[in-house]
Structure 1
Amino acid sequence: MKNHNQPVAVEGYPFIGLFAFVTLILALLGWGFLTFLCLCLTLFSVYFFRNPERVVPSQDDAVVAPADGKVVFVGPVQEERCFKGEAVKVSIFMSVFNVHVNRAPFSGKVVDMFYNKGQFLNASLDKASLDNEQGGIVLETANGQRLLFVQIAGLIARRIVTYPKVGDLLEKGERYGLIRFGSRVDVYFPAGSEVSVRLGDRTVAGETIIGTLR
């Protein structure tokens, strides 16, 4: 997958390069305030697309957070795309200040994917799970259980990037995509799964255990 051992996600290179180029031109023209403004945008782009290494928990049945951010929903829902019935959902909202590289919550095989166009509502709202533009992955574990995780665009986000294809194998904590400029990731567990985060908790992608698969 992309961005392995890259300190800055490759998707950020065009933004960083553009802002750096404009900064240089403005500096040569002697336009101080605009130079400073574009320099700030360049540095923010580097910060936004940062891609730190993470230490994945060794616990075999642990499901890790796919995103850095704040838990904005935990609870049972009806999920018809994968489970065709009741599931347990954990939603993580990413602000523009969070790392936006997403990581696989569990190891397994990608058995299905979907992409739905939609609106660009504030991703912290729960109705964003249904109404916003989104792309999902159905992962089948070694023991046949399934896990669904969905990247959801937000108010500012306009680009969902997903690396794997159907048939690919993902390792827990592996980078599998990103969403640009503020967004959300939902994880759907099979009904009866144990969830270990609560509303308002902060998560670190690839490290924070959000639940277990029994």
Structure 2
Amino acid sequence: MIHKEGYPYVFAPALLGGLLFGAGKKRLGLACLSLSMLNAFFFRNPDRQGILNPDYLLSPADGKVVKVDVEKRPEWWDEPLYRVGIFMRLWDVHVNRSPVQGRVINTIYLKGEKKPVFSDSAFQRNEKQVYLIERDDGVPVWVVQVAGLVARRIKSFVLPGDELVAGDIIGLIKFSSRVEVFFPAVNAEILVKEGHKVLAGETPIARLPQRR
């Protein structure tokens, strides 16, 4: 399945390739068809079946875990927050998903630079989209899409007030980038380490028991 955001990138070069083939320009036609196939691979949107246990936080992105630490962000939350950073390579699925079941409280788009996302400074300086999702028990979870050197557009598909199930699609970043997820560190158990490969909507990255 191809995400609808990829339709122009898939069908336009395919149509052009067909026209070029018909005009006898086979090499150019083949190049366009190859580009269409590459774009179809990039914008693929596979079905995902994650753990339904509400105590678990699922990965919001496909890719490689590049950061696991604890931070203080008083502008967000009074208590320490776990931070898990995931780098999405060009060949990874770039559809991003909600790590929890809950309600979208806020979405904020922040303009910024388009520097390489390998360093931690990219989180502070680069263009980003922030989602605040409140789990059903009131626990806040922040998902941050960070644009990079290649990534040129962040797409958000949810609005404040939307109800989500863990694994629901919330956005997409075109052509490689990084996604960060923040959640309260108290009582949380991290289930991944730096270097681990994860799948959006499937891989549990942490366990945070429901508040009773």
Q: TM-score range by the shorter chain?
A: over 0.9
Alignment of 1:76-87 (within 5 A): 76-84=70-78, 86-87=80-81
Deviations 1:105-158 (A, max 9, x none): 001111122110111111222211111100011111122111101111111111
SS at match of 2:100: coil
CA contact (8 A) 2:54 2:100 kept: no
1:198 aligns to 2:193 (yes or no):
yes
The aligned counterpart of 1:180 is: 174
SS at match of 2:80: strand
Name the CA distance, whole Å, in 2 between partners of 1:114 and 1:85.
21
Task: Please report how far the alpha carbon of residue 30 of structure 1 lies from its aligned counterpart in structure 2 after TM superposition.
Answer: 1.9
Task: Please report how far the alpha carbon of residue 91 of structure 1 lies from its aligned counterpart in structure 2 after TM superposition.
Answer: 0.5
> Any stretches of 5+ residues in structure 2 without a counterpart?
none
The aligned counterpart of 2:115 is: 121
> Any stretches of 5+ residues in structure 1 without a counterpart?
1-6
* CA separation of 1:103 and 1:200: change in aligned 2, threshold 3 A: same
Deviations 1:159-205 (A, max 9, x none): 11111111111110111111100011100011222211100000011
Q: Which amino acid aligns with 2:103?
A: K
Task: Please report how far the alpha carbon of residue 80 of structure 1 lies from its aligned counterpart in structure 2 after TM superposition.
Answer: 4.0
Task: Please report how far the alpha carbon of residue 32 of structure 1 lies from its aligned counterpart in structure 2 after TM superposition.
Answer: 2.6
Name the CA distance, whole Å, in 2 between partners of 1:87 and 1:145.
12
CA contact (8 A) 1:82 1:138 kept: no
CA contact (8 A) 2:61 2:179 kept: yes
Name the CA distance, whole Å, in 1 between partners of 2:4 and 2:66.
29
CA RMSD, 1 decimal: 1.3
CA contact (8 A) 2:79 2:184 kept: no
Name the CA distance, whole Å, in 2 between partners of 1:59 and 1:48.
30
TM-score by length of 1: 0.93
